[in-house]
Amino acid sequence: MKDLHNDAASLIGEAEGISRRDLLKAALGTGFAAAVLPVSAETVVKTDSEGLTAGTVTVTVDGYPVPVYRAQPAGKAGLPVILVISEIFGVHEHIADVARRFAKQGYLALAPNLFARQGDPQKEASIADLQKNIISKTPDIQVFKDLDAIVAWAGQNGGSADKLGITGFCWGGRITWLYAVHNPAVKAGVAWYGRLLGESTPNTPKHPVDVAATLKAPVLGLYGAKDTGIPLDSVEKMKAELAKGKSGSTFVIYENAGHAFHADYRPSYVEADAKDGWKRALDWFKQHGVA
């Protein structure tokens, strides 16, 4: 499999005139991060690409080619757009599958490699290494700028600029809250167990609780009561700040779930809650004009 992947990468690289190193960075939607192995293969959901246009595109931001996994109904235009923001593990098989799930529902789904400049999350041996070497070095302002460019690209490549939604998991859940504040074009968001509080640093100057009162777009927060990294008191603080605004954002708390309950490739997966959350996410986007 490795040789086949490398041969394919070489051929595509020659065809597109890009370097092998850049091509491998762009090979999204394959494999899983070393930090989460072994994968719980018996629960992994696999969504095919029949009827879809799916694969990697690049969006240039300040001269840098940001790889994006794109999935959409083949031959369709004027599609509602969903930004799918990954966990700290990057755009691996699960995130690409989520993008295809949205595409099967009629969306142009875009899952960008927002860590491309900092490194490859899939190669880091542990979560601690991943946090130290990549995540802590990825500035929020860079992420927002990349997403702005990707939204603009979507509007020129089959997407409807008037129907923009965002969803994200873990690290991507935090970004979901923040980007919904940053970009007034976002009509709705769904944040899956994204951190709400945190230390202010040059790369992460604000967190969701800091901007909640200014949020305009409705965001649905899907969180687990047993999530030891995101205690329920932080959710209560977020609710109190949201109550100062008029976004209509709300939370669903799953009593039997911990962190990453939607991650079907990990032992943390809770099938019933993941399926319920997915249905709620689709309904939320339809309710708020993204579909």
**Angle at CA of residue 255, ends 250 and 260, nearest 5°:** 80
- The pLDDT value recorded for residue 161 is 85
Specify the amino acid at residue 213: A
DSSP 217: S
> In whole angstroms, what separates CA 112 from the centre of its chain?
8
- How many whole angstroms separate alpha carbon 57 and alpha carbon 65? 9
**What DSSP string runs through 156-211?**
HTTEEEEEEEEEEETHHHHHHHHHHHH-TTEEEEEEES--------SS----HHHH
- The pLDDT value recorded for residue 25 is 47
Instruction: Check if the beta carbon of residue 132 is closer than 8 Å to that of residue 246.
Output: no
Summarize pLDDT for 204-244 with one digit per residue, the tens.
999 999 999 999 999 999 999 999 999 999 999 999 999 99
- How many whole angstroms separate alpha carbon 204 and alpha carbon 279? 31
Give alpha helix (H) positions in the chain: 2-16, 20-26, 93-104, 127-133, 140-156, 171-182, 208-211, 232-242, 271-287
Q: Domain 1-288: what homologous superfamily?
A: Alpha/Beta hydrolase fold, catalytic domain (3.40.50.1820)
Residues assigned a catalytic role: 170, 227, 259
- The pLDDT value recorded for residue 15 is 34
DSSP 38: S
What Å distances lie between residue 83 and 12, 38, 76, 120, CA to CA? 26, 28, 18, 20
Summarize pLDDT for 72-116 with one digit per residue, the tens.
999 999 999 999 999 999 999 999 999 999 999 999 999 999 999
- The pLDDT value recorded for residue 28 is 82
Can you give the pLDDT of all 291 residues of the chain as single tens digits? Answer: 333 333 333 333 333 344 444 444 446 888 999 999 999 999 999 999 999 999 999 999 999 999 999 999 999 999 999 999 999 999 999 999 999 999 999 999 999 999 999 999 999 999 999 999 999 999 999 999 999 999 999 999 999 989 999 999 999 999 999 999 999 999 999 999 999 999 999 999 999 999 999 999 999 999 999 999 999 999 999 999 999 999 999 999 999 999 999 999 999 999 999 999 999 999 999 999 999
Helix (H) or strand (E) segment spanning residue 224: strand 219-224
Q: Which residues pair with 282 in a beta bridge?
A: none
What Å distances lie between residue 287 and 77, 149, 163, 215, CA to CA? 21, 26, 12, 18
The pair of three-digit structure tokens given for residue 267, joined into one six-digit string: 């032992």
